[in-house]
Amino acid sequence: MDIDAAFGIHPAALSLHARRAEILAANLANADTPGYKARDLDFKAILSNTLDKDTSLPLQRTHSTHLKASIGEDTLNPKYIIPSQPSVDGNTVDGDRERAAFASNALGYQASLSFVGGRGRSLLTAIKGE
């Protein structure tokens, strides 16, 4: 049995959610810092790249010159957010947007954590034979 296949994408999603929470928390902490540029991860793009890399959903290369799908280091780097309303001091943090993104990220983290926990309990039950 392949343990990675049993848990699917959720372990990778948990680490991405944790990384994004760090970035969003830094944005919120620097909301009053002049010149601070807010950043965020493109969670959907990173996760789709991870799915493309996953062996359960391989991309088929029909020619030797086709590029291989991989998740690059630049994909995991946070991108700067384009502000909806510029500020005088150059800070690009939008508190409402950051709090909403943080709450959404926390819900996604909790959902993945619940899935991993439930799957772990199911595997333990199967191993014990109950």
Question: How far is it, in rounded angstroms, from Cα 21 to Cα 8?
Answer: 21
Distance from C-alpha of 12 to C-alpha of 15, rounded to nearest angstrom:
5
Model confidence, pTM = 0.72
* CA proximity to 27, closest of 115, 99, 105, 107: 99
pLDDT digits (tens, 9 = 90+) for 96-114: 999 999 999 999 999 999 9
Count the domains in the chain.
1
Dihedral sign (CA 25, 31, 36, 41): positive
What pLDDT, in 10s, does the model give residues 35-89? 999 999 987 777 677 666 544 434 455 666 655 544 444 456 889 998 888 889 9
Give me the amino acid identity at 106: A
Query: Which domain range does residue 97 map to?
Result: 3-128
Longest dimension (CA), the chain: 65
